């Protein structure tokens, strides 16, 4: 669980670094950190139970359809944190760590890459 929080903190801090809008949402920053913890808990609880997994999937899909995201970056960072939570919940620590590093590196690299039209 501690690894989940640490990796999601790295993702949240990367989001804060490359955030470009006028107002930074503290609640969204906290959501990035907390969603991975929730995902890790859910994955530990579900384990190998297929029917419980389908129930959790249905519950998460209802929540996701009711949430309005104003920016595509928000969705990407939430999915990254969710993926880290799922990986650590399944005890795939190497995958979680390496994917967090790769994701944050690419996000920062893309932020500093000049693109025409921006």
- Give the residue-averaged pLDDT of 57-62: 68
pLDDT given for residue 67 in this prediction: 60
- Give the residue-averaged pLDDT of 101-115: 89
Q: For the chain, give every domain's residue range.
A: 2-112
Mean confidence (pLDDT) of the chain: 81
- CB neighbours (10 Å) of residue 67? 10
Is the full-model pTM beyond 0.85? no
Listed in sequence order, the residues at least 6 apart from 78 whose beta carbon sits closer than 8 Å to its beta carbon are 31, 32, 35, 69
- Give the residue-averaged pLDDT of 63-79: 71
Q: How confident is the model at residue 45 (pLDDT cuts 50, 70, 90)?
A: confident
Find out whether 43 and 85 touch, Cβ atoms under 8 Å: yes
Better pLDDT: 8 or 47: 8
């Amino acid at each position: 669980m501690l690894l989940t929080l640490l990796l999601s903190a790295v993702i949240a801090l990367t989001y804060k670094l490359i955030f470009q809008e006028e107002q930074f949402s503290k609640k969204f920053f906290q959501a990035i950190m907390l969603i991975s913890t929730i995902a890790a808990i859910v994955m530990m609880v579900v384990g190998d139970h297929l029917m419980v997994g389908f129930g959790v999937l249905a519950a998460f899909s209802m929540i996701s359809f009711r949430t309005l995201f104003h920016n595509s970056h928000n969705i990407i960072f939430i999915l990254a944190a969710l993926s880290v939570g799922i990986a650590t919940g399944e005890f795939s620590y190497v995958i979680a760590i390496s994917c967090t590093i790769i994701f944050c590196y690419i996000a920062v690299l893309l932020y500093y890459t000049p693109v025409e039209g921006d």
